[in-house]
Amino acid sequence: MDTFRKLKEFYWPYRKYLFISLFFLLFVTGITVVYPMVLQITIDEVILGERYNLVPFLAFGFIGIMAVKGLSTYFHQYLGELFGIKSVYTLRGDLYKKLQRLSFKYYDNAKTGDLMSRLTADVEGFRFFLSFGFSMIIRITLLILISLSVMFYYSIPLALVTMAAMPFLAVITYRFDKKVHPAFRGIRKSLGNLNTRVQENISGINTVKSLSREDFEIKRFSGQNEDYRQQYIKTASIWAKFFPLMEFIGNICVVALLSYGGYLVIQGSLQPGELVAFFSLVWYIVWPLAEFGFVINQFSQAKASGERLIEILEQEEDIAQLEDAQEITRMKGHVTFKDVTLTYVEDDDAALKNISFDAPPGKIIGLIGSTGSGKTSITQLITRFYEPEKGEIYIDGKPVNQYSLKSLRKNIGFVLQEAFLFSTSIKENIRYGNPDASMEEVIEAAKRAQAHEFIMEMPKGYDTLLGERGMGLSGGQKQRIAIARALLIDPSILILDDATSAVDMETEFKIQQALKEVMNGRTTFIIAHRISSLKHADEIIVLEDGEVVERGVHDDLLQSGGVYQRIYDIQYQDRDVIMQRQHG
């Protein structure tokens, strides 16, 4: 029950629905046990006693009892469902909020399909037990206790014979629980892996088709699908052994009941109707105990699901916000790094090593280097997507962790190398970071990003709906919309992470011309592989293996004979050869 204790805060506030549901369950269960009693009276009093005048009273009384049971069943089931639905509504909301708070470090290792499985299948599995599992445990317990009470009322010796089978049923049920829980844990894990495989395939379908790897993907999916099938077969095998064994013991109990009960009827110490009632009541004990296996099934699924949900809820938030974090509307944008070291994975090589630089307000800082040199890592530390292992990062003279995360990131416009767009209109994508922006401001931001012209050529202009991840737009068009989105929040610090990598040289030149005005008064970090994108920077920082190897302005770095000049020569040698030929 440790899993349910940890999740108590989500369902306990709605316990009134559970308790009222259980109140109606008392009527449902009590009336259920009335059936055998009515049968006993009909046989012993009406048929054998020839009291036929009781028939109308029994008939109308039975109809009234059924009406009460029907209403009680309705309220019991409706309120039970309400209890589960309200509980998981809060739980699902908190899980989603938790996922929003977790840092990039968590998502570096998490699988999208598995997370989706936890927020859907696992939450639903937990809800099902809340709605039905708790009440089934109470119903089974009440049904067995009331049935036994009636049986002892009719005949104590015969009731003791019936109870002799219960320890065997309890042992079988206990052993079933020990086997079925790990089996359902395996099913949940396998389902998460299967969802991950489907999600990755759909997301990368262009790559799959372009490389003709459909057969390979089918084979990989078949492997995951086979694992899921085997997990279910394993669980089905456990179930297949449980119910026949329960039924076998139940039938032995019935044989003993009929043998000894028949003897008591012959001796005259038990009425025939009472024996018939006993026969009905014994199944009110045997089948509820067998049903208890189904409850254990539900419990095991809910426990396995709850454990996976707790893993998210208890996940450490390594990017924590201080209680007295400062809310600030507008920053100046003065960024300072002091001996900053960053390691993504413990015991792995550092991504950044003792990085120090100063970026005064309004300055343009260029970051260049080979892939994996640490360019993006610097900008992700500014926004606190990651925390440095050592060293300090300051904005306007204060450590970045002294600002609230919301106000910090509201002052930073971030354009990633791979622009992500939502499945909504172009207008809503641009104003995503500033939902209160006017249409005029949206258009102005689009013009600055050189996006207005192609937007107006689309069927519905700014109201054009985009497909998933911006499907229907070219890479360059998506990046220009992402740039417009960053500009619309009017950031103090602008970060362009290879933001023009997907546009042609002509469009890049137009965007750079437009960004000159935008960069004025803002601290701007430009990550680029093309020297043409950052040669106008106030300072260029050259990185290699996580270290600063050169720094300076474009002209000075060209004369250094170092890494920057080597990059320049690689990018421009073909152009120089062509120019030499033309002049030759």
Q: Which two tokens stand for residue 20?
A: 């009222």
Asked whether residue 139 carries a pLDDT value surpassing 80, the answer given is: yes
Of 482, 494, 476, nearest to 379 by C-alpha is 494
- pLDDT (average), residues 545-555: 90
Supply the pLDDT for residue 293. Answer: 67
> Interior CA angle at 379 toward 430 and 333, to 5°?
80
Q: At 494, which helix (H) or strand (E)? A: strand 493-497
How far apart, in whole angstroms, are the C-alpha atoms of residue 157 and residue 463? Answer: 81
Of 200, 197, 189, nearest to 224 by C-alpha is 197
- pLDDT (average), residues 550-569: 86
Asked whether residue 494 carries a pLDDT value surpassing 80, the answer given is: yes
**475 versus 487: which is more confidently predicted?**
487
Of 508, 506, 451, nearest to 481 by C-alpha is 451
Poorest-pLDDT segment among 280-284, 552-556, 579-583: 579-583
Of 487, 485, 524, nearest to 379 by C-alpha is 524
Residue 355 — pLDDT band, cuts 50, 70, 90? Answer: very high
494: amino acid identity, one letter: L
List pLDDT tens digits, range 358-398.
Answer: 999 989 999 998 888 888 889 889 989 888 989 999 999 99
Poorest-pLDDT segment among 244-258, 317-331, 567-581: 567-581
Asked whether residue 336 carries a pLDDT value surpassing 80, the answer given is: yes
Q: Domains, the chain, ranges and CATH?
A: 2-313 (1.20.1560.10), 328-411+528-584 (3.40.50.300)
Supply the pLDDT for residue 577. Answer: 47
Asked whether residue 29 carries a pLDDT value surpassing 90, the answer given is: no
Asked whether residue 510 carries a pLDDT value surpassing 70, the answer given is: no
List pLDDT tens digits, range 230-244.
Answer: 887 888 887 777 777
Of 38, 257, 252, nearest to 155 by C-alpha is 257
Asked whether residue 420 carries a pLDDT value surpassing 70, the answer given is: yes
Of 497, 522, 513, 492, nearest to 363 by C-alpha is 522
How far apart, in whole angstroms, are the C-alpha atoms of residue 532 and residue 555? Answer: 13
How far apart, in whole angstroms, are the C-alpha atoms of residue 119 and residue 137? Answer: 26
Q: Give the mean pLDDT of the chain.
A: 82
* DSSP calls for 173-213: HHHHHHHHHHHHHHHHHHHHHHHHHHHHHHHTHHHHHHTT-
List pLDDT tens digits, range 252-294.
Answer: 777 777 788 888 888 888 888 888 888 788 878 777 776 776 7
Asked whether residue 582 carries a pLDDT value surpassing 50, the answer given is: no
Q: Which residues pair with 369 in a beta bridge?
A: 543
- pLDDT (average), residues 522-526: 90
Of 354, 360, 351, nearest to 395 by C-alpha is 360
Of 217, 264, 4, 250, nearest to 126 by C-alpha is 4
How far apart, in whole angstroms, are the C-alpha atoms of residue 512 and residue 507? Answer: 8
Is residue 470 a contact partner of residue 420, using CB atoms and an 8 Å limit?
yes
Phi, psi of 343 (to 5 degrees): -125, 120
How far apart, in whole angstroms, are the C-alpha atoms of residue 129 and residue 91? Answer: 14
Is residue 251 a contact partner of residue 117, using CB atoms and an 8 Å limit?
no
Supply the pLDDT for residue 511. Answer: 66
Q: What percent of the chain has pLDDT over 70?
A: 91
Is residue 249 a contact partner of residue 165, using CB atoms and an 8 Å limit?
yes
Asked whether residue 49 carries a pLDDT value surpassing 80, the answer given is: no
Supply the pLDDT for residue 136. Answer: 86
- pLDDT (average), residues 49-68: 80
Q: Give the CA distances from residue 240 to residues 284, 294, 297, 300, in Å, rounded to whole numbers and listed in that order.
A: 22, 12, 13, 17
Q: What percent of the chain has pLDDT over 90?
A: 16
- pLDDT (average), residues 118-141: 86
How far apart, in whole angstroms, are the C-alpha atoms of residue 162 and residue 158? Answer: 6
Sign of the dihedral defined by the CA atoms of residues 454, 457, 458, 462, in that order = positive
Is residue 442 a contact partner of residue 427, using CB atoms and an 8 Å limit?
yes
Is residue 275 a contact partner of residue 262, using CB atoms and an 8 Å limit?
yes
Q: At 393, which helix (H) or strand (E)? A: strand 390-395
